[in-house]
Amino acid sequence: MPETSAPRPAQVTIAAGLVMLGSVVLVLVAFDLVAGLRSLETRESVADFLSEQPGADLGLDLQEALTLLRTLTMVAAACATTTAILAFSVLRRSRSARLGLTLLAPPLFLAGLAASELRPTEAPLSPLGFLSAVVVGSVVMLWLQPARDWVDGKAPRPAPDRPEPRPRPTPDPGHEPTPEPAPAGRREARAYQGFGDPGSPPAYVAPPTAPPAMLPTAPTTALPTAPPRPARPARPAALMWACGLTWAGTALVALVMLIAVALVLVAPDMFVDEAYRQNPDLRADTSPAELRSSVIVAGTVLVCWCVTAALLGALVWRGRQWASTALLASACCASVLCLAVAVVSPLLLPSLALCAPVVPLLLKPEVRAFLAHR
């Protein structure tokens, strides 16, 4: 983290505050939208959108459009949760947090805009589209001056001084310009009397100069050695717990998803029958082929996510500050997704219990001090 004594510009405070406020409100709006997806009003609104242009060109039926709307809303909520936490880190002059906000701004804006298009409202601007635009605009403000130099740890640039124009002297028509005096070191040439005559006195010869005295040499002194580098502080217990919970949660989710993908590939009929038995609503909403393909795609994505989170946990254990920011964002997204899905399937509550405590543990002051030490 760069160190500078410059005060925080008001632009950074306003931009980070707008990101946090807009992200929190967006999460609340997203949860309200997900909770009302099965309502008659939402279904009629989505059906009206699909019956007209440009919704008719998408080729989606009502159930597929509702599934897409739920996915886009959850993605927007997950990104908004992460941006709210990263904006708080930007107030503490974190360049990695600003980079994370920049990477999350495009998917947040696209997900919010697409979700607002799928569920049109009577208002001139949908809340999801408006809030996502506010968050993206605030992120752009963090890359403008003087916010960019403050986050980078640079001194504020001084304002350029405009030179005052020198007044031109007005010439006087009745005054004649006086000639400029000759320079002080320049003399006029004059003739010497008797130069070259045999009887003239000899030319002046400068006396020989004595050799310069030898100056005494200063005694050589040894250069001062740099002070020894302070040792890294001991690894705090909160960081150990955060890494341990990360590895436990990623191992559990990866194992469950690998087993689910293996069952789909080895015994697809048995897996589909068991899924329909546990959740009868899936039979009317999802076909067996769609269910199998969804499990394979979701399992592949979640296993790759778990492997990445486990590697980030190992880097955080070794004291990499940028890895802690990435792991914090991953834990926030995982917590929001587990919380959203746990409303339908309580089987994800253990995963939520493992990934949710990672967020406050990584934000503890002793953990931040350990990661900021160089």
Pair 144, 286 in one domain? no
Pair 136, 258 in one domain? no
Q: What is the pLDDT of residues 127-147, one digit of tens each?
A: 777 888 888 888 888 888 888
Q: pLDDT tens for the chain, 374 residues: list them.
A: 445 567 888 888 888 888 888 888 888 888 888 777 777 777 777 777 777 776 666 677 777 778 888 888 888 888 888 888 888 888 888 888 888 888 888 888 888 887 777 766 544 456 777 888 888 888 888 888 888 888 877 766 665 555 556 666 665 555 555 555 555 555 555 555 554 555 555 555 555 555 555 555 555 555 555 555 555 567 888 888 988 989 988 888 888 888 888 888 888 788 778 777 777 766 766 777 777 887 888 888 888 888 888 998 888 888 888 888 888 888 888 887 777 776 666 667 777 788 888 888 888 888 888 887 64
Pair 130, 31 in one domain? yes
- CA 4 to chain CA centroid, Å, is 20
Three-class HEC string of 66-124: HHHHHHHHHHHHHHHHHHHHHHHHHCCCCHHHHHHHHHHHHHHHHHHHHHHHHCCCCCC
Pair 141, 251 in one domain? no
Asked whether 108 and 132 are in contact (CB, 8 A), the reply is: yes
Last residue of a domain, one of 154, 172, 200: 154
Q: Does residue 202 form part of some domain? A: no
Pair 135, 272 in one domain? no
What rounded mean pLDDT belongs to the chain? Answer: 75
Pair 269, 360 in one domain? yes
Q: Which residues of 10-43 are buried (b: 16+ CB within 10 A; e: fewer)?
A: ebbeebbebbbbbbebbbebbbebbeeeeeeebb
Q: Does residue 32 form part of some domain? A: yes
Count of domains observed in the chain: 2
Asked whether 65 and 118 are in contact (CB, 8 A), the reply is: yes
- C-alpha dihedral over 358, 359, 364, 366, to 10 degrees? 50
Res 227: pLDDT: 56
Containing structural domain, residue 301:
233-374
Q: What is the pLDDT of residues 148-188, one digit of tens each?
A: 888 877 766 665 555 556 666 665 555 555 555 555 555 55
Asked whether 65 and 50 are in contact (CB, 8 A), the reply is: yes
Pair 256, 138 in one domain? no
Pair 267, 123 in one domain? no
Pair 241, 149 in one domain? no
- Residues 364 and 97: their CA atoms lie apart, in Å, by 16
Last residue of a domain, one of 154, 177, 193: 154
Res 264: pLDDT: 83
Pair 48, 150 in one domain? yes
Q: Does residue 162 form part of some domain? A: no
Pair 107, 238 in one domain? no
CATH, residue 38: 1.20.1410
Q: Does residue 159 form part of some domain? A: no
User: How far apart, in Å, do the first and last CA atoms of the chain sit?
Assistant: 9
Q: What is the CA radius of gyration of the chain?
A: 37
- Residues 253 and 353: their CA atoms lie apart, in Å, by 12
Last residue of a domain, one of 154, 186, 214: 154
Pair 1, 150 in one domain? yes
